């Protein structure tokens, strides 16, 4: 459903309707239409079809790499490398 809203909104703009008018008619934040247009420009309709839950989408290899980077580390390790003035 959400993907169809994005596709329809972008199509309306491609067909000449102003982004402001589209946003007003669907009731979303003005910034979101420009985000959708950027998605469309970078990845076409397929990019608009991806429903994200707000989290990172990692494949198994990326997840394992991330796990190895952070496993058995303490927060203090990361804070010790911050520049002066940003240390906790």
pLDDT of residue 1: 72
* Ramachandran quadrant class, 42 (left: phi over 0; alpha: psi -120 to 50; beta: rest): alpha
Domain residue ranges in the chain: 2-49
C-alpha angle 19-31-46 in degrees, rounded to nearest 5: 75
Q: Considering only CA atoms, give the Rg of the chain.
A: 20
Q: How does the average pLDDT of the chain come out, rounded?
A: 80
Would you give per-residue pLDDT tens digits along the chain (88 residues)?
Answer: 788 999 999 999 999 999 999 999 999 888 899 999 999 999 899 889 876 655 556 677 877 887 777 776 766 665 555 566 655 5
CA-CA distance, 52 to 83, in Å (whole number)?
A: 34
pTM above 0.75, yes or no: no
Nearest one of 48, 41, 42 to 8, comparing CA atoms: 48
């Amino acid at each position: 459903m959400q993907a169809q809203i994005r596709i329809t909104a972008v199509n309306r703009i491609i067909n000449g309707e102003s982004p402001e008018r589209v946003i007003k008619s669907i009731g979303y934040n003005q910034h979101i239409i420009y985000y959708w247009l950027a998605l469309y420009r970078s990845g076409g309709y397929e990019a608009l079809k991806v429903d994200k839950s707000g989290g990172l989408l990692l494949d198994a290899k990326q997840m394992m790499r991330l796990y190895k980077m952070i496993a058995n580390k303490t927060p203090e390790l990361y804070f010790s490398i911050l520049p002066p003035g940003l240390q906790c």
